[in-house]
Amino acid sequence: MGFFLNGETIGHGTLDRVSIGKKRKWVHTEATEIYRKFRRKGHGIHLYIALVETARAIGATRIQSSRSLNRYSRRMWQEKLAKVYPVKMSKSNRPCRRCGHKPSWNFFYINLEK
């Protein structure tokens, strides 16, 4: 999804299906970005609201953040989206499949079921 302001592209976002099971209709926001020139101006919340409502429109039951969040996205999920939607945090300590390292990473999600 492209994100535009006065005809100029200011960012983009994608909804990718989470491959956990065939019956689950979960999506995540892996490649979402507001270009540097347009950050810290309040545009990001509008992009994320559009992504959440698009996920709801396509029938997704849950939208979740990426597992590797930068500081801008983490703040968006923790502070800004939490004012609009009931954002929950999930913490996992699952070891890496390749090296066995036990990372402690968080991701955020919003249940879209009514």
Residues in a beta bridge with 12 = 2, 33
Residue 3 has pLDDT above 70, yes or no: yes
Give mean pLDDT, residues 33-58: 87
pLDDT of residue 39: 83
Record the tokens describing residue 6, joined without a space.
């006065």
Lowest mean pLDDT across 2-11, 24-33, 95-104: 95-104
Residue 103 has pLDDT above 70, yes or no: no
What pTM, to 2 d.p., does this model score? 0.79
For residue range 53-98, list pLDDT tens digits in order. Answer: 999 998 889 898 887 777 778 888 888 999 999 999 887 666 767 7
Residues in a beta bridge with 65 = 29
Domains recognised in the chain with CATH numbers: 2-111 (3.40.630.30)
Distances (CA, A) of 72 to 44, 45, 52, 56: 9, 11, 17, 23
